[in-house]
Amino acid sequence: MTSKIKIRIGQIEIEYEGSEEFLKEELPDLLKAVTALHKEAGGSLPTNVPESDSAASSKTAAAFDGSNLGTTNSIAAKLSAKTGSELAIAAAARLVLGTGLEQFNRKQLLQEMQNATQYYKSSYGSNLSKTIRTLVGDHRFIERAKDTYALKADMLKTLESQLA
């Protein structure tokens, strides 16, 4: 059976597609070598290693300077948000890139959406559960736990380029 894996530690990124047997036998040694290389280069590893998507997300977020990102209104304007899903993405971008959160809960997302007074409609709040399910299903959000979410790494990269 063919397996696929992508690992990023700091500036080092490894992508593999091939036999599952190789991953089972060789992956531990490969991770040790990459970790050692990363430490030699002056990097350090976090003590609580997140899931692979969030690891890439947090590394990407750290490289992006969100300090001058602006409000959710300004992010929604840059993204040309016209729907509840688009406003939810703008709010998530503000939470992750603007404030540095790695993950956010439903309540934080709703509050951030409501902060975008030029874009928010009350129907967005009443339809938030459906919007979140759609964003998770479309692989834009990751559901970490009940009502706790993160942006997918590729979504984060897209947002960074759109907001840069």
Domain shared by 135 and 103, yes or no = yes
Residues 6+ away with beta carbon under 8 Å from 150: 53, 54, 57, 96, 102, 103, 104, 141, 142, 144
- Residue 101: inside a domain, yes or no? yes
Number of domains in the chain: 2
List beta partners, residue 14: 7
Of 101, 119, 30, which is closest to residue 62 (Cα–Cα)? 101
Domain shared by 24 and 89, yes or no = no
- Residue 157: inside a domain, yes or no? yes
Domain shared by 92 and 147, yes or no = yes
State the residue range of the domain holding 68.
Answer: 62-163
The half-sphere exposure of 93 on its side-chain side, counting CA atoms within 13 A, is: 35
Model pLDDT, residue 13: 72
Give start and end residues of each alpha helix (H) in 44-117: 52-63, 72-78, 84-93, 106-115
Residues 6+ away with beta carbon under 8 Å from 73: 115, 116, 117, 118, 119
Helix (H) or strand (E) holding 14: strand 12-19
Domain shared by 101 and 129, yes or no = yes
Model pLDDT, residue 97: 93
Q: For each of the chain's 164 residues, which pLDDT tens digit applies?
A: 677 777 777 667 777 777 777 777 777 777 777 777 777 766 654 444 444 444 444 444 444 555 578 899 999 999 999 999 999 999 999 999 999 999 999 999 999 999 999 999 999 999 999 999 999 999 999 999 999 999 999 999 999 999 98
**What distance in Å separates the CA atoms of residue 48 and residue 54, rounded to the nearest whole number?**
12
